[in-house]
Amino acid sequence: MKELICIVCPRGCHLQVDETNNDAVTGNACPRGADYGVQELRHPMRTLTSTVVLLGGIHRRLPVRTNGPIPKQAIPMAMDAINRLRVEAPVRAGQVLCQNLSGTGVELIATKTMEII
Ligand code: SF4
């Protein structure tokens, strides 16, 4: 039995996922929690947020995030790519900085507009 806290909504239900019983989920107040429990147990995903080096901007780093969740196990590889990335100002919030980040199929986007210095 695996115990998890559902992070799909602020209610934070305490879930139990029974691997010995076909991944049966209990403790969820709605069906989304059951889906989350099974996915978290079998194929955990996360939306990745970080910063990248910004060249010529009013700040030295630019906040970024993936535009969708990626497998948790792909995070170290994605962070390597993010750490190698250099972005030139100006940048608009929502601008795609990298397509198919580390082969995950998601894009890396800027979360803040940054003007030239
Ligand atoms: S199980 Fe449903 S109600 Fe409970 S935290 Fe998850 S999404 Fe929210």
Distance (Å) from CA 4 to ligand 1 centroid: 11
Q: Tell me, what's the pLDDT at 73?
A: 96
Question: Could you state, in order of their start, the residue ranges of all structural domains in the chain?
Answer: 2-43, 49-110
Bridge-based pairing state of the strands 96-98 and 86-88: unpaired
Q: Tell me, what's the pLDDT at 59?
A: 96
Q: What is the pLDDT of residues 25-50, one digit of tens each?
A: 999 999 999 999 999 999 999 999 99
The residue-averaged pLDDT of 106-115 equals 98
Q: What is the pLDDT of residues 62-81, one digit of tens each?
A: 999 999 999 999 999 999 99
Q: Which CATH number fits domain 49-110: 3.40.50.2000, 3.40.50.1820, 3.40.50.720, 3.10.530.10?
A: 3.10.530.10
Full-model pTM: 0.85
Rg value, the chain, Cα: 18
Distance (Å) from CA 105 to ligand 1 centroid: 27
